[in-house]
Amino acid sequence: MPDAAPRPEPFIRQTAPEALEDLRARLRATRWPDAPEDAGWSLGSDLGYLRELVAHWADGFDWPAQEAALARLARYRVPLGGLGIHFVHVRAVAPAGPVLPLVLSHGWPDSFWRYAKVVPLLTDPGAHGADPADAFDVVVPDMPGYGYSDRPTGPPLDSIAVAGLWAELMGVLGYARFGAAGGDIGSHVSRYLALDHPDRVVAVHRTDAGVPVFAGDPAELAPEERAWLDGAAAWGGAEGAYAAMHRTKPQTAAVGLTDSPAGLAAWIVEKLRSWSDCDGDIERSFTKDEILTNLTIYWLTETIGSSMRMYRANAAIPPAQLARRVEVPSGFSLFPGDIVRPPRAWLERTANVVRVTEPARGGHFAAFEEPELYAEELRAFFRPYRAVVEG
């Protein structure tokens, strides 16, 4: 007899009180480094802001309340590829037309948390001032080694392998055809979903084109493409030390970040600030409680090391894979506060582009920073493809 199909099981997590007491004790016992006067954020995370954040994490932050709020999303776990995969699955509410299934892929340094605000806007648009005909069935998985999905015990999975898992997951959920969207590493995963499963992915939406890789003759590139490659290289030199660590020696950093919640905060908070559209004031994009919800997921699941290791796996993807062109209809929303924003010429070189927009606000974490804008971008882009799925 063939093996039975994987069966999703409802997932509810309630953190043990002793785990929170251990966290608070570690936060209160933080041994802080010195910092030059007026260093601010120029050398990394601002020490003064971190002290405020850690103090709130220890004595003001209500994790049980945040955990209960996240539990209001319908969450499941299912065995795929030898790993337990955690995911959100919320069906469209009172749809007024064909329902498009949509899988949303997150990046680093986050998890399903990235899309927590946008799920209700996509599944029940009529309740949020939008057209009920734009409702989606939404699936938001945690990548292996992130959030509440299992950590791989062997080699880390790359974006190609994760895309394969997501295709399997959508099949388990009964979706023969679907849309895909994502940003950061989730942009790569969405790209490989379109490349490797073009018969199932009706369209793909991304908020970035990743870090550019081009092995051809630079003379073949348009001037704006060459300028973008130069800009991306300059960004890597000034801002890319974290990624070099992730790609090469992630276990070294994982020791300190898994042991020290203050260290974990420093590593992640600096990226939340520098990659968001906050004009230097991180709390324009994220409240302290929102930041701490993301950090607490990382802390309790002990996934900072496993999440970083995916960079190493992706760095080993063969150049031939990186050079493939996406022929599935592709859309890009390039938010103004994001990093290394690509020119249209590069997008058209690498994908079958049918729509490119530049929203007025938002950054690398647009789905969390500007959920209404992000939801409208997805509604508008995927609108023509609903009938394709129904047919």
Question: What is the C-alpha separation between 305 and 180, in angstroms, rounded?
Answer: 27
Q: Residue 54 corresponds to which tokens in the numbers above? A: 């850690």
Q: Which phi and psi (to 5°) does residue 63 adopt? A: -65, -45
Helix or strand (DSSP H, E) at 76: strand 75-80
Q: What is the DSSP letter of 103?
A: E
3-state class (DSSP) for residue 112: helix
Strands, E, within 91-238: which ranges?
A: 100-105, 136-141, 178-182, 201-206
Residue closest to 205 by CA, chosen among 386, 45, 378: 378
Residue 136 and residue 92 in contact, taking contact as beta carbons nearer than 8 Å: yes
Residues annotated as part of the active site? 184, 311, 364
Intra-chain end-to-end CA distance of the chain, in Å: 32
